[in-house]
A and B are shown apart, each in its own frame.
Chain A
Amino acid sequence: MGPIRIEPAKLLEEALATQRKLGAALQTLRGLDDVDFGVTAKEAIYREDKLVVYRFKGERPPTAKVPILIVYALVNRPYMVDLQDDRSLVKNLLARGEDVYLIDWGYPDGADRWLTLDDYINGYIDRSVDAVARHAGVKRINLLGICQGGAFSLCYAATHAEKVRNLITMVTPVDFHTPDNMLSNWTREMDVDLFVDTLGNVPADLMNLCYLMLKPVRLNQQKYIGLVDILDNKAELENFLRMEKWIFDSPDQAGEAFRQFIKDFYQGNKLVRGGLKIGPHEVHLGNITMPVLNIFAEQDHLVPPSASRVLGEHVGTDDYTQVAFRGGHIGIYVSGRAQREVPGTIHEWLAARSR
């Protein structure tokens, strides 16, 4: 007996079912409403160049005294944390009484080609932290860094510790040279000087193609075959398209910042090896002495868990907590499990440190 036992009748029925779904596609797609995202009300409290710092408005005033500033990655848009009504980290944090702010980096253009990591970290992030602290009437705030924004937050917390009360990192790469890090493997032999000198800002489409190649069959094909299953379900299709929009709605990358990020983080692995300098500041993770919560995803294909979980070995704090989430790099924000587990984990961890 072989490993495949598909009855021909069942095979044909399966094929016919697929045909029926495809047949419904045209009507469903034509009947779709515009896909919206970013569901929680917010107000801008600080603007600089293309950057905007927002404060989210919950249904009730926050009970937390220390605000959270979310520092998102440069490589995608930050509305992933507030994608839709039933998939929103922000909304769930607000519901628990947290006071949530977020940096929206905007879309860099040619004028931003020369922005460096110094400009981003010691400039934009520092002034955003000041703006949030001023707005909330506190001296120190909680920083929540996500992915590349987490790496930036580590640099910031290590060099401006007096302004950070608690640090939370989510799916944040720390050790860039673990053997399962595909992006790292690909960038190690790249001549990034030639790359940036030639391209200037790095086009978003190029970045997206690179990410799609991490799982080429799954992300280019299987996902869309899965889409066939929901072609007759308007609500599910809208969820799919919302996610699809987020994936491909990517900003270009400021050339100089990209150059330094690839050289110092991906190629030099200086965050753990040492020798990282952001503007005038030497970055030593040992200078991170505030409490740290590090959340990573066990099935993360972009930032392997091994790249994140080493953080505890390098930070200087005695108060380090690590949480492994059962899910992927995106699922940690939008899956049903994420809605149940992640906001509560953050809130309880912060609450325990505000007593």
Chain B
Amino acid sequence: MGESPNPDWMNQWQAWSRQYAHAWQDLARNATAAPQPAAPAPWPQAFEQWARAFAPSSAGPGETVDRLIDSARSYATFMQSMLAAAADNPQAAATPWSEALRQAIPGLAGGVFQHPAAQAWQGMQQQGSAGLAQLLGAFGGLPPVPAMPPADLGELKSWLHLPSFGVMREHQERYQKLALAWVEYQEQLGRYNQLMLAASRRGFELFEAKLAEHEPPGLQIDSLRALYDLWVDAAEEGYAEVALSPAFREAYGALVNAQMRVRALVQQEAERVSGDLGMPTRSELNSIGERLQALRREVRARGGAGADAGLADEVAALRAEFATLKASVKHASPGGPVDDGVKLRRASDEPGAAARPRKSPRGSGERAAAATASGNFASRIEEFASASLGAPRKRAPRATGKPAAGSRKTKR
């Protein structure tokens, strides 16, 4: 500081500045193809003109473009601040970069709502359903609640605790409860924003510390982008310190819970209105959905794919047993009735058979009993296998109250 700027340098700088201003003008002109004034527009005006060229209908990836424009706007602001600082102090070494940065960096000069995390939380209010404020207006019977300082919120809360009377007391009480939830949400949002402000301040402290590391000759930052990237590193570190703290954990949880209480109360009002209009409500749909899911689990547990696999295993075991029996009979002395190489032993031939209950394969019922009566073990197995594994079989006749001709009525 203190050195007089070189007049030649000043002339050069002014020429460059004009070039920069014209470049913005060209950018806007090329984007819109609209007639432009002869004098260059200020850069914010030119920037906005350029940004308008990306109207939703003109470019495909809309959200990305929006983010690009927002970020480019922030970066252009940053560039402009630095250029202004350089113009005021053309000797680079003496330029008050620190103050210029303080003006340019979101969350410091421009207020807490410029911190991206605070902006993101504002966005979160809109996600998942309509914005809270609109919902409150639509279903809560409440006018929009303006942002208030904490002291006023406390006063409002005490009013909302007043008892209600008369024929409308129930309605009044519900509205008060909803309004109270909203006020409490505002309180929590205020706490969260304070933490974001602390994160911004801490980020700048870290940034200054990082800058100090670049003081030795040869380590100086020599580009705008490098400076910006250094700030981002510091801002993220400052934010992480806050976001990982127990205080943030508590404040964040309280904020989420407060917002959910507001949403839940608004939903109750919406339910009440829907009920009055004879419309299905969300809790009814939820109830149906829950029952349906429980039923699906039950059905699957009883007879779904798992049951098919179980039956397949059972049939495989029976087949193996059948093969063993077949082999053992082949080696034994032949005699008595033989079917398919197997000497059949009728159930009635077994000692004590009359007193012992017969055990039927699962799902086979009377069909299996009939097969046993016929004495054909092989056909029993085949029949059981096809019934269990879904092999081609005749479709059961539609129930008409009368047995179909030639069919046998079965009990299950």
CB distance from A4 to the nearest CB of B (A): 5
Cα A3 to Cα B410 with chains together (Å): 94
B256 at the interface (CB under 8 A from A): yes
Most-contacted residue by chain B among A19, A20, A180, A223 (CB, 10 A)? A19
Among A7, A20, A111, A190, the residue within 8 A (CB) of B289 is A111
Q: Is the CB of B83 within 8 A of A12?
A: yes
Question: Contact string, B54-77, partner A, CB cutoff 8 A, digits 1/0?
Answer: 100011110111011011101110
What residues of chain B lie closer than 8 Å to A195, measured between beta carbons? 256-257, 260
Closest to B100 in A: A4
- A220 with B120: in contact, given A16-B23, A32-B60, A248-B63 (CB under 8 Å)? yes
A206 at the interface (CB under 8 A from B): yes
Q: Which of A54-62, A211-219, A341-349 contacts B (4 or more CB under 8 A)?
A: A211-219
What residues of chain A lie closer than 8 Å to B371, measured between beta carbons? none
Chain A residues touching B, majority SS = helix
CB distance from B124 to the nearest CB of A (A): 5
Q: Which of A64-72, A181-189, A314-322, A330-338 contacts B (4 or more CB under 8 A)?
A: A181-189
Q: Is the CB of B60 within 8 A of A29?
A: yes
Cα A214 to Cα B71 with chains together (Å): 18
What residues of chain B lie closer than 8 Å to A111, measured between beta carbons? 289, 292
A23 at the interface (CB under 8 A from B): yes
Total CB contacts across the A-B interface at under 8 A: 247
Cα A3 to Cα B212 with chains together (Å): 6
- A6 with B92: in contact, given A114-B293, A185-B249 (CB under 8 Å)? yes
- A29 with B54: in contact, given A11-B86, A15-B79 (CB under 8 Å)? yes
A355 at the interface (CB under 8 A from B): no
CB distance from A132 to the nearest CB of B (A): 14
Among A2, A19, A189, the residue within 8 A (CB) of B215 is A2
What residues of chain B lie closer than 8 Å to A206, measured between beta carbons? 124, 127-128
A39 at the interface (CB under 8 A from B): no
B202 at the interface (CB under 8 A from A): no
What residues of chain B lie closer than 8 Å to A35, measured between beta carbons? 61
Q: Which of A153-161, A197-205, A269-277, A289-297 contacts B (4 or more CB under 8 A)?
A: A197-205
Question: Contact string, B217-250, partner A, CB cutoff 8 A, digits 1/0?
Answer: 1011111110111001001100110011100111
Cα A16 to Cα B256 with chains together (Å): 44
Cα A167 to Cα B148 with chains together (Å): 55
B344 at the interface (CB under 8 A from A): no
Q: Is the CB of B93 within 8 A of A5?
A: yes
- A227 with B117: in contact, given A23-B26, A189-B249 (CB under 8 Å)? no
Q: Is the CB of B19 within 8 A of A6?
A: no
What residues of chain B lie closer than 8 Å to A186, measured between beta carbons? 243, 248-249, 252-253
Closest to B74 in A: A221
- A228 with B90: in contact, given A19-B27, A29-B59, A113-B289 (CB under 8 Å)? no
- A185 with B244: in contact, given A195-B260, A200-B286, A244-B64 (CB under 8 Å)? yes
B159 at the interface (CB under 8 A from A): no
Cα A154 to Cα B292 with chains together (Å): 29
Cα A212 to Cα B72 with chains together (Å): 18
Q: Is the CB of B86 within 8 A of A25?
A: no
Closest to B219 in A: A3
Cα A212 to Cα B297 with chains together (Å): 36
B116 at the interface (CB under 8 A from A): yes
Closest to B221 in A: A4
Question: Contact string, A8-32, partner B, CB cutoff 8 A, digits 1/0?
Answer: 1111101110111011011001101
8 Å CB contacts to A: which residues of B1-54?
A: 12-13, 16-17, 19-20, 23-24, 26-27, 30-31, 50, 53-54
Q: Is the CB of A22 within 8 A of B214?
A: no
Among A11, A113, A123, A216, the residue within 8 A (CB) of B116 is A216
Q: Is the CB of B86 within 8 A of A8?
A: yes
What residues of chain A lie closer than 8 Å to B179, measured between beta carbons? none
What residues of chain B lie closer than 8 Å to A218, measured between beta carbons? 232, 236
CB distance from A130 to the nearest CB of B (A): 8
Q: List 18 A-B contacts (CB under 8 A).
A: A6-B221, A7-B92, A10-B223, A15-B20, A15-B224, A16-B19, A190-B256, A199-B128, A202-B128, A206-B127, A206-B128, A209-B123, A214-B243, A222-B229, A224-B64, A224-B70, A224-B71, A240-B64
Residues of A near any B CB (own CB < 8 A)? 1-12, 14-16, 18-20, 22-23, 25-26, 29-30, 32, 35, 110-111, 113-115, 119, 123, 127, 179-180, 182, 185-191, 194-195, 197-200, 202-203, 205-206, 209-210, 212-218, 220-225, 227-228, 240-241, 244, 248
Q: 6 tightest A-B contacts by CB?
A: A189-B253, A224-B71, A3-B214, A114-B293, A203-B128, A216-B116
New contact pairs (11) apart from A15-B224, A205-B127, A216-B115, CB-CB < 8 Å: A3-B214, A11-B86, A12-B19, A19-B27, A26-B31, A119-B293, A182-B240, A188-B249, A198-B263, A213-B120, A228-B72
